[in-house]
A and B are shown apart, each in its own frame.
Chain A
Amino acid sequence: MRGKLGDRALYVYTWLIILWLASPIAVMILFGFNDKQSKSNTSWQGFTFKWYQQLFAIDGLTDALVNSLIIAVVSTVLATVLGTLLGLAVGRYRFRGKGVTDFLIFAAISTPELVMGASLLSLFVSANAPRGHITIIIAHTLFSLAFVVVTVRARVVGLDPSLEEAARDLGAGTFTTFRLVTLPSIMPGVAAGAMLAFALSIDDYVVTSFVNGSEQTFPLWIVGAVKVGIPPQVNVMGTLIFGIGVLLAIANAVSARRKTTH
Chain B
Amino acid sequence: MRRWTPYWLALPAWLWLAIFLVVPIAAMASVSLTTGNLIDGFTQTFSVSNYSDAIAKYSTQLVRSLVYGGVATVIMLVLGYPVAYWIAFKAGHRKSMFLFLLLLPFFVSFVLRTISWGFLLADDGILFGTLKGWGVLPQDFHVLATTVAVIGGLVYNFLPFMILPIYVALERVDPRVIEASYDLYASRLSTFRRVVLPLSLPGVFAGVLMTFVPATADPINAQVLGGTSNTMIGNIVQTEYLVNNDYPTASAISFTLMAVLLIGIFIYARALGTENVLEAAAR
Contacts and interface: CB of A to CB of B under 8 A. Distances in A.
Contacts of A123: 20, 23-24, 27
Given A82-B16, A119-B24, A42 B122 contact: yes
Contacts of A219: 109-112
A6 B191 CA distance: 15
B102 interface: yes
A205 interface: yes
B13 A83 contact: yes
A112 B100 contact: no
Given A108-B17, A223-B220, A238 B112 contact: yes
Instruction: Indicate the member of B115, B219, B224 with the most A CB atoms within 10 Å.
Output: B115
B111 A22 contact: no
B213 A112 contact: yes
Given A42-B119, A42-B124, A25 B105 contact: yes
B271 interface: no
Given A104-B17, A119-B27, A154 B279 contact: yes
Contacts, number: 252
A82 B87 CA distance: 35
Nearest to A82: B13
Contact of B124 (A43, A112, A146): A43
A24 B257 contact: no
Contact of B223 (A25, A43, A223): A223
B107 A246 contact: yes
B82 to A, nearest CB: 6
B148 interface: no
Nearest to B122: A42
B58 interface: no
Interface string A6-38: 110011011001101111110110010000000
B219 A114 contact: yes
A112 B28 contact: no
A25 B111 contact: no
Interface string A115-153: 110111111011000000000001101100111011100
A217 to B, nearest CB: 10
B83 A14 contact: yes
B10 A222 contact: no
Q: A107, A110, A120, A205: which has the most chain B beta carbons within 10 Å?
A: A110
A110 B247 contact: no
A208 to B, nearest CB: 11
Interface in B101-129: 101-102, 104-113, 115-117, 119-120, 122, 124-126, 129
B262 interface: yes
Contact of B251 (A122, A141, A199): A122
Contacts of A111: 21, 25, 258
Contact of B217 (A14, A112, A223): A112
| Chain B, interface SS category | helix
Interface majority SS on A: helix, strand, loop or mixed? Answer: helix
Interface in A81-99: 81-83, 85-86, 88-90, 92-93, 95, 97-98
B106 A199 contact: yes
Contacts of B129: 43
A21 B160 contact: yes
B170 to A, nearest CB: 13
A97 B6 CA distance: 10
A203 B156 CA distance: 16
Given A13-B82, A145-B13, A242 B6 contact: no
B102 A42 contact: no
A141 B16 contact: yes
A43 B20 contact: no
A81 B242 CA distance: 32
B13 A149 contact: yes
Contacts of A20: 156
A226 interface: yes
Contacts of B188: 2-3, 6
Interface of A: 2-3, 6-7, 10-11, 13-14, 17-18, 20-25, 27-28, 31, 42-44, 81-83, 85-86, 88-90, 92-93, 95, 97-98, 101-116, 118-123, 125-126, 138-139, 141-142, 145-147, 149-151, 154, 199, 202-203, 205-206, 209-210, 218-219, 222-223, 226, 230, 234, 238, 241-242, 245-246, 249, 253
21 contacts: A17-B79, A21-B156, A21-B159, A21-B160, A28-B108, A31-B119, A98-B6, A101-B10, A104-B17, A108-B21, A112-B217, A115-B257, A118-B241, A121-B241, A138-B20, A141-B16, A142-B21, A203-B110, A234-B112, A241-B108, A246-B107
Given A122-B31, A205-B220, 10 more contacts: A11-B90, A21-B104, A24-B119, A104-B14, A122-B24, A126-B27, A150-B282, A206-B220, A206-B234, A210-B241
What are the nearest 8 A-B pairs in CB distance?
A: A24-B116, A93-B6, A119-B24, A86-B13, A112-B217, A89-B9, A245-B107, A123-B24
